[in-house]
């Protein structure tokens, strides 16, 4: 299979997974761009994303970064493998009250057993509001968990 056909097949699978994922639907994540080495996801800030001080909860920023990073890791990994987050470090740099958030994930290194991804989370004013460094396990021949119906 050519690289472009693999990417198209992967993007179709990613779109199906995002659509079928309750958290990404509930939080309103939108895939903006996906390349073999980088992924961009956006979300509009809603009241449901805010904590008691009326700013976006850090867990929402982390979930946005991890989702973008996980997709980037999946696209960069060899065919027939799957990925799982094994480590994540997140710096929360600015509070966000409104607007749109964007996670821009870039693969730093993909190896036989792991993938390292860097992610910038920015707001509508292009301020860097979060910075993540994540490591994903690259699992050969592993099938992802499928929910029981």
Q: Is residue 148 part of a domain?
A: no
> Which band of pLDDT confidence, cut at 50, 70 and 90, is reported for residue 66?
very high
Q: Is the pLDDT of residue 44 over 80?
A: yes
Q: How many domains does the chain have?
A: 1
Q: Is residue 147 part of a domain?
A: no
Q: Is residue 109 part of a domain?
A: yes
Q: Is residue 149 part of a domain?
A: no
Q: Is residue 38 part of a domain?
A: yes
Q: Is residue 105 part of a domain?
A: yes
3-state SS of the chain is CCHHHHHHHHHHHHHHHHHHCHHHHHHCCEEEEEECCEEEEEEECCHHHECCCCCECHHHHHHHHHHHHHHHHHHHCCCCEEEEEEEEEEEECCCCCCCEEEEEEEEEEECCCEEEEEEEEECCCCCEEEEEEEEEEEEECCCCCCCCC
Q: Where in the sequence is the domain holding 108, given as residue range(s)?
A: 3-140
The pLDDT value given to residue 147: 43
Q: Tell me, what CATH number does 30's domain have?
A: 3.10.129.10
């Amino acid at each position: 299979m050519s690289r472009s056909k693999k990417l198209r097949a992967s993007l179709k699978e990613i779109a199906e997974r995002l659509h079928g994922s309750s958290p990404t639907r509930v939080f309103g994540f939108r895939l903006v761009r996906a390349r073999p080495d980088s992924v961009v996801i956006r979300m509009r800030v809603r009241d449901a994303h805010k904590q008691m001080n009326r700013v976006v909860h850090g867990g929402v920023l982390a979930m946005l970064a991890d989702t973008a990073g996980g997709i980037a890791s999946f696209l960069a990994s060899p065919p027939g493998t799957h990925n799982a987050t094994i480590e994540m470090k997140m710096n929360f740099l600015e509070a966000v009250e409104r607007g749109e958030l964007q996670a821009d994930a870039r693969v730093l290194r993909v190896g036989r057993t792991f993938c390292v991804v860097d992610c910038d989370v920015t707001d509508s004013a292009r301020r860097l509001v979060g910075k993540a460094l994540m490591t994903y396990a690259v699992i050969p021949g592993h099938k992802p968990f499928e929910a029981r119906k």
